[in-house]
């Protein structure tokens, strides 16, 4: 991903756009064929020379064009006809962002496949579900991963749409009026480059497009942080249900040899903040003066390369985490049993209501027994079996039926089928 943003690729892309414009002019008979042959043959640049020229002219596109002209010679007069700097800058940026975006979608697809595989692997691995950080009812680790899989699919579609939105070129001159460039040139150039011609632009392609791309990356990074935070929580000593892979020879602390910390997930959490902050800067780039100023330009030189590189890196980290994630099913069962059966309060409530007790009365009775269990550290089922109010309504067999884990998991297959995991 770093190579995408290297100067060499940038200038190669600029040259690609300029040559595409020249070819379009040649097809329209504006540039003689023999001149175009010479342009194709000689058009090249030297980065050191560009930097040398830019020190004097203080304009990167002019420096680039001068370097190319020094190599092409007299036929360089046909290069950049009717164009402004933003024609080359914005069209090239679209190509480079598309290139970066396609690398990101490839990694998202890979993550999606890995999440699907591991969701199936742990489809029946029972663990406690937590709401507000407190035990609620059982789920499976596979369900948690299936939810991540579905979210990753949404992020993939979101990013694909954003790539489509940004894959737009503009060859329309200094204020977008085509005053000195034939509109057909733009259509021909964009077609050759695999872009869509902008329907309407000022001197630049409008920055809401770039903000959408940046926002799609920010949402994706936020999802990855969400997943990473969950793993961090589940790795806490008091929970201990999953943990990051800890390689042979790895050290968790300079002071405490026993430590195994979720450092990679923590790194993801930190870096995701930068991607989100960059998306905010991209939205700040949308309002510009009149047909264009360059307040957005310096920002984009930082935020777009940084965000694509960071998201690419975060994806690599998380793919490795999920592939090597260590799972402790025995600890999951141990944690489920911490509540002494309180997790079965809802099936009991529903069964009492089903047998004729009002919901309000049933809730009150079940809650009284639950609080007794919580504060006296007693077994919930034993307390329920000894409650005369409940035994008037439910038989021992009916109560036993309320205390089965399967009650919570009978529709897991339905969810997996819905998200496309088989």
Catalytic residue among 92, 167, 253, 290: 253
Tell me the CB-side half-sphere exposure of residue 335, using CA atoms within 13 A: 25
Catalytic residue among 76, 80, 85, 132: 132
Helices 141-166 and 208-234, packing angle to 10 deg: 160
SS3 assignment for the chain: CHHHHCHHHHHHHHHHHHHHHHHHHHHCCCCCHHHHHHHHHHCCCCHHHHHHHHHHHCCHHHHHHHHHHHHHHHHHHHCCCCCCHHHHHHHHHHHHHHHHHHHHHHHHHHHHHHHHHHHHHCCCCEEEEEECCEEEEEEEHHHHHHHHHHHHHHHHHHHHHHHHHHCEECCCCCCCCCCCCCHHHHHHHHHHHCCEECCCCCCCCCCHHHHHHHHHHHHHHHHHHHHHHHHHHHCCCCCCCEECCCCCCCCCCCCCCCCCCCHHHHHHHHHHHHHHHHHHHHHHCCCCCCCCCCHHHHHHHHHHHHHHHHHHHHHHHHHHHHHHCEECHHHHHHHHHHHCCHHHHHHHHHHHHHCCCCHHHHHHHHHHHHHHHHHHCCCHHHHHHCCHHHHCCCCHHHHHHHCCCHHHHCCHHHHHHHHCCC
Pairing outcome for strands 242-243 and 326-327: antiparallel
Q: What is the dihedral of CA 139, 144, 147, 152, to 10 degrees?
A: 180
CA distance 257 to 253: 6
Q: Which long-range contacts (CB under 8 A, 24 or more apart) does 30-37 make?
A: 30/78, 30/81, 31/78, 35/75, 35/78, 36/78
Active-site residue, 132 included: yes
What the block records as the tokens of 344 is: 């079965």
Q: Is 398 exposed, middle or buried (0-12, 13-18, 19+ CB in 10 A)?
A: middle
Which residues are designated catalytic?
A: 132, 253
């Amino acid at each position: 991903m770093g190579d995408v943003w290297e100067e060499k690729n940038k200038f190669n892309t600029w040259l690609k756009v300029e040559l595409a414009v020249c070819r379009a002019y040649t097809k329209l008979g504006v540039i003689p064929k023999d001149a175009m042959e010479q342009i194709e043959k000689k058009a090249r640049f030297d980065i050191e020379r560009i930097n040398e020229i830019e020190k004097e002219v203080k304009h990167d596109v002019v420096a680039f064009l001068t370097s190319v002209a020094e190599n092409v010679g007299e036929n360089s007069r046909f290069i950049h006809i009717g164009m402004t700097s933003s024609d080359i800058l914005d069209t090239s940026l679209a190509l480079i962002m598309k290139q970066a975006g396609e690398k990101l979608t490839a990694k998202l697809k890979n993550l999606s496949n890995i999440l699907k595989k591991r969701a199936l692997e742990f489809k029946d691995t029972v663990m406690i579900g937590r709401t507000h950080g407190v035990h609620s009812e059982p789920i499976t680790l596979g369900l948690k991963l299936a939810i991540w899989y579905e979210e990753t699919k949404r992020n993939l579609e979101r990013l694909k749409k954003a790539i489509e939105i940004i894959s737009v070129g503009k060859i329309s001159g200094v204020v977008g009026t085509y005053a000195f460039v034939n509109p057909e040139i733009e259509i021909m150039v964009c077609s050759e480059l695999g872009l869509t011609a902008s329907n309407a632009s000022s001197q630049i392609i409008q920055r809401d497009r770039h903000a959408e791309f940046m926002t799609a990356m920010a949402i994706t990074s936020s999802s990855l942080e969400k997943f990473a935070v969950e793993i961090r929580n589940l790795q806490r000593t008091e929970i201990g249900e999953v943990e990051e892979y800890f390689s042979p020879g790895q050290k968790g602390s300079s002071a405490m040899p026993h430590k195994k910390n979720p450092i990679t997930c923590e790194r993801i959490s930190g870096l995701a903040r930068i991607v989100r902050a960059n998306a905010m800067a991209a939205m700040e780039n949308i309002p510009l003066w009149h047909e264009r100023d360059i307040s957005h330009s310096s920002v984009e030189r930082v935020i777009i390369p940084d965000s694509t590189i960071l998201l690419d890196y975060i994806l690599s980290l998380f793919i490795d985490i999920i592939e090597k994630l260590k799972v402790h099913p025995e600890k999951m069962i141990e944690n489920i049993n911490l509540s002494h059966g309180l997790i079965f309060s809802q099936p009991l409530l529903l069964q009492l209501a089903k047998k004729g007790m009002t919901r309000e009365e049933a809730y009150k009775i079940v809650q009284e027994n639950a609080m007794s269990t919580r504060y006296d550290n007693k077994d919930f089922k034993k307390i329920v079996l000894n409650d005369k109010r409940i035994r008037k309504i439910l038989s021992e067999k009916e109560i036993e039926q309320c205390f089965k884990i399967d009650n919570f998991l009978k529709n897991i297959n339905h969810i997996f089928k819905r998200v496309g995991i088989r």
